[in-house]
Amino acid sequence: MTTLVRLRPTTPPKRPGRLAILGAPNSGKTTLFNALTGHRAKAGNYPGVTVDRREGDLQRRFGADDVRLIDLPGVYSLEPQSEDETVAVRVLEGGFGEPAPDGVVVVVDATTIERGLPLLAEAAALGLPVCVALTMIDELKARHGEIDPAELEQELGVPVLGVVGNRGLGIDDLGALVSAAWDWTGSPSLSRGAEAKTPEDRFAWARAVLGACRRQAPEPNRWTRRLDRFLLHPVIGSAVFLTFVAFFFQAIFTWATPAMDFLSGLMDGLADQVLVALPDTAVTRLVADGVIRGVGAVIVFLPQIVLLFTVILFLEACGYMARAAFVVDRVMGWVGLEGRCFIALLSSYACAVPGIMATRTIPSPRDRLTTILVAPFATCSARLPVYLLLIAAFIPADPVLGPFTWQGLTLMGLYFLGTGAALLSAAVFKRGLLRGASLPFYLELPPYRLPRPSDIALGVWDRAKLFLRRAGTIILAVSVVLWFLLNLPRRPVDPELSVVENQRLVLEGSYAASAGRLLEPVFAPMDFDWRINVGLVASQAAREVMVATLAQIYAQEGQDEEGLGVLLSGSGESGSAPLLSRASALALLVYFAFAMQCMSTLAVIRRETGGWRWPAFTFAYMNGLAWLSAWLTFVLASAAGA
Amino acid sequence: MDRTLADVADASDGRLLEIAEVTGTDGDSRRLREIGFCAGAPVRFIRRAPLGDPAMYELRGALLSLRRSEARRIRVHRAGA
């Protein structure tokens, strides 16, 4: 057993296979990664968008087909303090059961080059081949700054390339560089940087390196300064913000309605076509009522989803989100949290799942857990269809001021309600079970950047696909299961009665109806009908299912001529009884604002906290709070005569 | 040269300041130094958030937000005064 044939080549391959992309937060790593791999990972103009490592293959057009790129979360140094930074360092050191990467691309923002070079020194100290990508070269030039990558390359002894990631400039050169052999060895100057032990030494080294090159530091970004003076002004800034938000919520009602009506007509037409074209069997009705009308009732909200994400992505990409964190940080301080918690909460407005993952940037475990526990209160896009349906049905479209109506203001109020609940719960948790000092908070405020419309469009397209995929998977699955529960057990057809009357009898005696009635004691105080109860149970899987459920029930009752909202409020010409009083509808809205009704969120909480304890706790306290608040709303609204 | 030391939290105008030291030896202090608040670095107060805290500073060409509690750790004196 002494001699084994060596199968592996003794000489290492000339071009190593895996290359890590390392850089400070918001230095443009993900944009670069996307440009090199052809991926479309989410990038944004604020720090901390990437919280996990991500891998992708270098596009073949650059000349090599065996280069794997690893996009890392942004780090300020290789001595990690938060979980996302730990991920970055572990990848570089060869964690996660994978070998250490074979080389590192250090991404340095050319406009703040002095702050980026110390990380290069730390990367060089790892002993791996390094090269440098100077991003935002266009912005540097626009601000009359100057740096010659060739000169820097001379000084450092490793390749330095200027790139503009989002415009693709310099990407070909970088692609060609990493396609060739990575035999980069640094100059004595770089070695001196690698030997530096303290941050002071590394910054002094960075200054020395830059001093050896002809370099013109960029002027302050005038536009950013001017906009900040305006947008961060206590009075003007708040007024601009509130007007913008109110306008946005109003737009969801007024602008998106035509597109929504169009989709709605499309779905109804499709369901009718199916009913006419196919023989009247259970399968036909499953397809028409369960699938097309059920899932369709959710899909019609696509225009609103698109609008919501257009605004969110624009605000992220232009640099305003980081300002929002800056403005609100004081409030977060009162609550006992730091600004990074706010960033995580902000992403939860799209969906709590990435929001909870974004808590990995929070160094303090207590702050992180608190943020995870309250993030599901943020008004995620899954709540939007339910809100829109109920508001359109029960809140008058009367104008309040200028273009703003009660409907738009109610929607805005619900968003504020979710935010308030998140902050108050966080304050309670931080004072109670998760007491602990806050860690220092520093936030880099990027310059304002005009996002490219195509970037926004691609991002919105991704979100729209996600929404449709959700409709086609979880919502479809629940709708189909629900259809069976609404149609079983079968009963003999009574020839004396019409088809619709027979269907109603089946519905009234169905398993779903029994379950809904079983829950009546729980929701009777809010005057919820068994149909609502069925919806509430079904929407535990995903909130939008509420809309799908109601659509199915009405379809089965033979009422599919009028809009769902009209039927709910009983305002239609058919004179059908309303399903909800206005007080009950308000209670239902509040219930949805607070309740934990999302399997994916519970699953991600379990993953991030490592057990069922915290998801169970979140489920219990949020639903408890939802019930109490809904009941209180019902009592108050009834007293007020709603 | 005016050597009266104060912290950067006291700055309220746009004059250029020079960092003298970052107090403390814990992880927080190290992190402040890692993001560039090192002795000798010039720093400038830009503005306070509308609610009075945190404040925005210009450091090595970037805009950074610090809460008052962190800004207290950064001792400064006027540059070139």
Residue A140: its pLDDT value, please?
92
What is the arithmetic mean of pLDDT over A464-489? 87
Residue A3 pLDDT grade (very low, low, confident, very high; cuts 50, 70, 90): very low
A106 DSSP β-pair partners? A22, A132
Torsion angles phi and psi, residue A430, rounded to 5: -70, -30
Alpha-carbon distance of A605 to A373, in angstroms, equals: 8
Residue A247: its pLDDT value, please?
83
Residue B20 near chain A (CB below 8 Å): no
Residue A16: its pLDDT value, please?
55
Q: Which residue of A has its CA nearest to B53?
A: A330
Most confident of A79-88, A426-435, A615-624: A615-624
Phi-psi region of A144 (alpha: psi -120 to 50; beta: other; left: phi over 0): left
CA gyration radius, chain A: 28
Tell me which of A169 and A165 has the higher pLDDT: A169
Q: Which residue of B has its CA nearest to A445?
A: B63
What is the arithmetic mean of pLDDT over B44-50? 91
Residue B34 near chain A (CB below 8 Å): yes
Alpha-carbon distance of A43 to A37, in angstroms, equals: 14
pLDDT tens across A593-620, in order?
999 998 889 999 998 898 899 999 999 9
What is the arithmetic mean of pLDDT over A272-294? 83
For residue B29, the distance in angstroms to the closest alpha carbon of chain A comes to: 9
Residue B51 near chain A (CB below 8 Å): yes
Answer whether A67's CB lies under 8 Å from A59's CB: no
User: Above 50 in pLDDT, residue A398?
Assistant: yes
Structural domain spans, chain B: 6-78
What is the arithmetic mean of pLDDT over A331-357? 83
Q: What is the C-alpha end-to-end distance of chain B, expressed in Å?
A: 5
pLDDT tens across A228-240, in order?
999 998 888 888 8
Phi-psi region of A170 (alpha: psi -120 to 50; beta: other; left: phi over 0): left
B-chain CB neighbours of A229 within 8 Å are 47
User: Above 60 in pLDDT, residue A41?
Assistant: yes
Question: Cβ A232–B28 below 8 Å, yes or no?
Answer: no
What is the arithmetic mean of pLDDT over A534-546? 88
Q: Which of B16, B23, B35, B47 to mutate to test the interface with A (most CBs of A within 10 A)?
A: B35
B-chain CB neighbours of A77 within 8 Å are 31, 34
Question: Cβ B60–A112 below 8 Å, yes or no?
Answer: yes
Question: Cβ B60–A115 below 8 Å, yes or no?
Answer: yes
B-chain CB neighbours of A326 within 8 Å are 49, 54, 56, 65
Q: Which residue of A has its CA nearest to B64?
A: A444
Alpha-carbon distance of B40 to B79, in angstroms, equals: 9
For residue B9, the distance in angstroms to the closest alpha carbon of chain A comes to: 13
User: Above 90 in pLDDT, residue A109?
Assistant: yes
Tell me which of A622 and A611 has the higher pLDDT: A622
Q: Which of A75, A225, A332, A442 to mutate to test the interface with B (most CBs of B within 10 A)?
A: A442
Residue B41 near chain A (CB below 8 Å): yes
Residue A436: its pLDDT value, please?
58
Range scoring the smallest mean pLDDT among A229-233, A512-516, B22-26: B22-26
User: Above 50 in pLDDT, residue A542?
Assistant: yes
**The two three-digit tokens of residue A421, written as one number:** 């609940």
Q: What percent of chain A has pLDDT over 70?
A: 93
pLDDT tens across A558-588, in order?
766 667 777 777 776 666 678 888 899 999 9
Question: Cβ A112–B61 below 8 Å, yes or no?
Answer: yes
All structural domains of chain A: 18-219 (3.40.50.300), 255-300+452-580 (no CATH)
pLDDT tens across A203-259, in order?
999 999 999 888 888 988 888 999 999 999 888 888 888 888 888 888 887 777 788
Residue A631 pLDDT grade (very low, low, confident, very high; cuts 50, 70, 90): very high
Residue A621: its pLDDT value, please?
95
pLDDT tens across A349-370, in order?
888 888 888 888 787 888 889 9
Q: Which residue of B has its CA nearest to A338?
A: B67
Q: What percent of chain A has pLDDT over 90?
A: 25
Most confident of A12-26, A34-48, B6-20: B6-20
CATH 2.30.30.90, domain B6-78, yes or no: yes
DSSP A572: S
Q: Which residue of A has its CA nearest to B72?
A: A440
**The two three-digit tokens of residue B79, written as one number:** 């540059």
A-chain CB neighbours of B26 within 8 Å are none
A268 DSSP β-pair partners? none
Most confident of A49-63, A572-586, B45-59: B45-59
Residue A437: its pLDDT value, please?
57
pLDDT tens across A139-160, in order?
999 999 999 999 999 999 999 9
Q: What count of residues does chain B have? A: 81
Question: Cβ B64–A443 below 8 Å, yes or no?
Answer: yes
Residue A434: its pLDDT value, please?
63
Average pLDDT of chain A is 85
Tell me which of A43 and A369 has the higher pLDDT: A369
Question: Cβ A441–B67 below 8 Å, yes or no?
Answer: yes
What is the arithmetic mean of pLDDT over A57-80? 86
Question: Cβ A81–B31 below 8 Å, yes or no?
Answer: yes
A-chain CB neighbours of B65 within 8 Å are 325-326, 329, 339, 441-445
Residue A10: its pLDDT value, please?
40
Residue A503: its pLDDT value, please?
80
Residue B52 near chain A (CB below 8 Å): yes
